[in-house]
A and B are shown apart, each in its own frame.
Chain A
Amino acid sequence: MNATPIAPATTPIITVTDLVKQFGRFAALRGVSATFNAGQMYAILGDNGAGKTTLLRTLAGLNRPTRGSITMLGSNNLRAVCRQVGYMAHPSLLYDEMTGMENLHYFARLYDITDDQRCASVITAVGLDPDLARPVGQYSQGMRQRMSLARALLNDPQILLLDEPFSNVDLRSAREMVLLLGKMRDNGKTIFVVTHQAFLLEGAANEFVWMEEGKIVSRTSHYSPTPGEKP
Chain B
Amino acid sequence: MSLTGVTLIKDLRLEWRSKDAINSMLFFALLVVVIFSFSFDPTAEESRQIAGGLIWVAFLFAAVVALNQTWAREIRNQVLDAYRVSPAPANSLFLAKASGNFIFVLVLEALMTPLFVVFYNLRALGPAWQLPIVALLGTWALVVNGTFFAAMSLRTRSREIMLPLLLFPISLPAVLAMVEATTSILTGEYSAKFWIVLLAAYDLVFTTGCLLLFDIVLNAE
Complex: A in contact with B (CB within 8 Å): yes
Q: Mark A49-68, 1 if CB is under 8 A from B, else 0.
A: 00000000000111110000
A95-B87 in contact given A62-B221, A63-B221, A151-B82 (Cβ < 8 Å): no
B179 to chain A minimum Cβ distance, whole angstroms, is 38
By the criterion CB–CB under 8 Å, are B79 and A93 in contact? yes
Query: Chain B interface: which of A104-112, A120-128, A166-174?
Result: A104-112
A152 to B184, CA, bound (A): 55
Q: Is the CB of A109 within 8 A of B77?
A: no
A96 touches B76 (CB 8 A): yes
B43 contacts the other chain (Cβ, under 8 Å)?
no
How far is A96 from B78 in the complex, measured between Cα atoms in Å?
A: 11
Q: Which of A80-99 contact B (CB under 8 A)?
A: 82-83, 85, 87, 89, 91-98
B79 touches A95 (CB 8 A): yes
Residues of B within 8 Å of A, CB-based: how many?
22
Number of interface residues of A (CB under 8 A): 27
With the chains together, A141 CA to B87 CA distance in Å?
28
* B213: Cβ under 8 A from any A Cβ: no
Cβ of A107 and Cβ of B82 under 8 Å apart? Answer: yes
A60, A92, A96, A112: the one within 8 Å of B85 (CB): A60
Residues of B within 8 A of A110 (CB): 3, 82-83, 86-88
> Which secondary structure characterizes the binding site on chain B?
helix
**Is the Cβ of B86 less than 8 Å from the Cβ of A89?**
no
B81 touches A62 (CB 8 A): yes
B221 touches A93 (CB 8 A): no
Q: How far is the CB of A7 from chain B (nearest CB, A)?
A: 20
What residue in chain A is nearest B14 (Cβ atoms)? Answer: A97
The answer for the CA separation of A60 and B78 in the assembled complex, in Å, is: 14
Cβ of B193 under 8 Å from chain A: no
Residue of A nearest to B82 (CB): A93
Give per-residue flags for B83-125: 1 if the beta carbon is below 8 A from chain A beta carbons, else 0: 1111110000000000000000000000000000000000000
Asked whether B73 is an interface residue with its Cβ less than 8 Å from the other chain, the reply is yes
- Of the candidates A60, A61, A97, A110, the one having the most CB atoms from chain B within 10 angstroms of its own CB is A110
- CB-defined contacts of A96 to chain B, threshold 8 Å: 76-77
Interface residues in A126-163 (C-beta closer than 8 Å to B): 151, 155
**Residues of B contacting A82 in the complex (Cβ-Cβ under 8 angstroms):** 85-87
Is B78 touching A97 in the complex (CB atoms < 8 A)? no
A-binding residues in B (CB < 8 A): 3, 6-7, 10, 13-14, 17-18, 73, 76-79, 81-88, 221
Complex A-B: 12 CB contacts under 8 Å: A79-B87, A82-B86, A82-B87, A93-B79, A94-B79, A95-B14, A95-B77, A95-B79, A107-B86, A110-B86, A111-B86, A155-B86
Query: 5 closest A-B pairs (Cβ-Cβ)?
Result: A110-B86, A91-B78, A110-B88, A93-B82, A91-B77
